[in-house]
Amino acid sequence: MAATKTESSALLQESGKQAPEMTWRVLCTRTIVTNMVLLSLLQMLDKSDMKSTIAGMLRALELDFGIDADQEALLLVISALPLAIFAPVWGLLADSYPRFRLMIVSAIFWGLTTFISAFSQSFALLCFSRGLTAVALGGILPISQGIVADLVPNVYRGRMFALLTVCGGAGAGFALLIATDISTETIYGMRGWRWVFLDIAILSLVAALFITVLAVEPVRKGKTPTLNCETVNRSMSYMANVPTFALLVLQAMFGLVPWSAFSGFGPLWLQYSDLSRDQISLALVCFGVGNGFGELLGGLLGDIAASYAPDTGRVRVAQVSVLLGITWVVTLFCVISDAAKSPSTVMALLFFLGLTGSWVGSGVKTPMLAEIVPSHMMVSVMGVAYGLEHASSSIFGSLVTGVLAQHVFGYDTSTEDVAHMPQAQRRSNATALSSSIGWMMVVPWIICLFIWSAITWTYPKDRDRVLRDEEARAAAEGEGDNGVSPLPAVEEGEKDQSST
């Protein structure tokens, strides 16, 4: 006999099954469309600058600044660790102040610091400017997720979070492709990697202008809390007493390590694997395209699974994704010994790795996190989660991968162009990178499988408790919430259009 569902689980299941009939009427309002377009474009730019540009520039930076694998790993950490530290600060501010205004401040600061990166004349100055840029980027994703949570109901969030992630992945893939292709070239007397930074700086300032003119601040549920010590203590106390929050953050701390390891050193591995420039570009495109479709598929599968099995559906999607990711990684780095002899196989494996290994973020973790966090502390809690996750991924992903490659597997740094290096050295470096990347992808994902099993037991109770608290809070404020995010009002003029 099947177990009896809780009342809130039944409500979520029923609303999920009705969702397809109402999707376009609910989501295609002017406010939602305008804000989602702006957030999607900003995510493209954000993810292109976080790590993809640096990952594609590593070989050029080796040539220009004479850095080794340890220094490359240090640069990747500096480009991410301040982001992790300041994301909670941005989150606390976003729960008390207009969120789009904070994004404008972040985008302007981002553009100015990226200008410094473009004209850095030393490795130390480049590290300093990238650290400042990471401070600015710390608020983009958690604030965006908070805006999405305010804009759309629970049953649609997986797809909307997936849209943001897909756009971010597209931007990251395009930036990685361009940076890898032109970073070592000289264009109008200036290195290609400097032009990449310059373009991003200009685009971030343009993004700030678009947000100022077009963005519509969404209406939040309930009263906006005042930022003070009591607010901070309340958020910290909440996070310390919700097991599912701790487990979701813990699995993300391990689950993001593989992607950090691959995004940081994967392009360099392809360069040392004797693939041509066109083959490297095509391989990165295959991974990016697969990742984009995978994020959309993950969001859709997560929403469908949650509508039919509210307590365990999303967790099962995550476990399948992790298992498939491990399968492709083992095949890519252990079974295939020489990438140059089978480039088409490498491209296919990268495509399937992106397609099936990317369901967790948008389809599982972020929607579940939004359901166990009260609306009045949504962004601050997400900011803390985002900060902890990326601190772990930047340290254990980029830094440890670089250390393993150089000190355990024998990576040998050289200032020569890859094409002019001895073949034995190229193959040795490719093997060192593939070994370090492989270990740093498989082991963390195995740990994630066990953590997801634990989440199966804690998530239903924590979600139901938040739903009850939200009902009580809404009743106290006279809003009459029914436990599920209310459907946004269809704007006048759009209602008539949607009904025709």
Phi (first) and psi of residue 187, to 5 degrees: -120, 115
Angstrom distance (rounded) from CA 40 to CA 268: 28
pLDDT at 50: 67
Comparing CA positions, the residue from 177, 166, 163, 183 lying closest to residue 285 is: 177
Residue 372, pLDDT > 80, answer yes
Tell me the average pLDDT across 347-376: 87
Each residue of 5-37: pLDDT tens digit? Answer: 444 444 444 444 444 444 555 566 777 888 888
Residues linked to residue 186 through DSSP beta bridges, in sequence order: 191
Does the predicted model carry a pTM greater than 0.95?
Answer: no
Each residue of 92-129: pLDDT tens digit? Answer: 888 778 888 999 999 999 999 999 999 999 999 999 99
Reduced to 3 states (helix: H, G, I; strand: E, B; else coil), residue 190 is strand
pLDDT at 26: 53
Q: Domain segments of the chain: what residues?
A: 26-218+240-475
Q: For domain 26-218+240-475, which architecture applies?
A: Up-down Bundle (1.20)
Q: Is 121 exposed, middle or buried (0-12, 13-18, 19+ CB in 10 A)?
A: exposed
Phi (first) and psi of residue 250, to 5 degrees: -60, -45
Angstrom distance (rounded) from CA 291 to CA 322: 14
Q: In residues, how long is the chain?
A: 500
Angstrom distance (rounded) from CA 391 to CA 385: 10
Each residue of 312-325: pLDDT tens digit? Answer: 999 999 999 999 99
Each residue of 179-205: pLDDT tens digit? Answer: 878 888 888 889 999 999 999 999 999
CB 23 within 8 A of CB 156: yes
Residue 472, pLDDT > 80, answer no
User: Best-predicted range by mean pLDDT among 180-189, 208-217, 263-272, 416-425?
Assistant: 208-217
Which residue do the tokens 């939200």 mark?
470
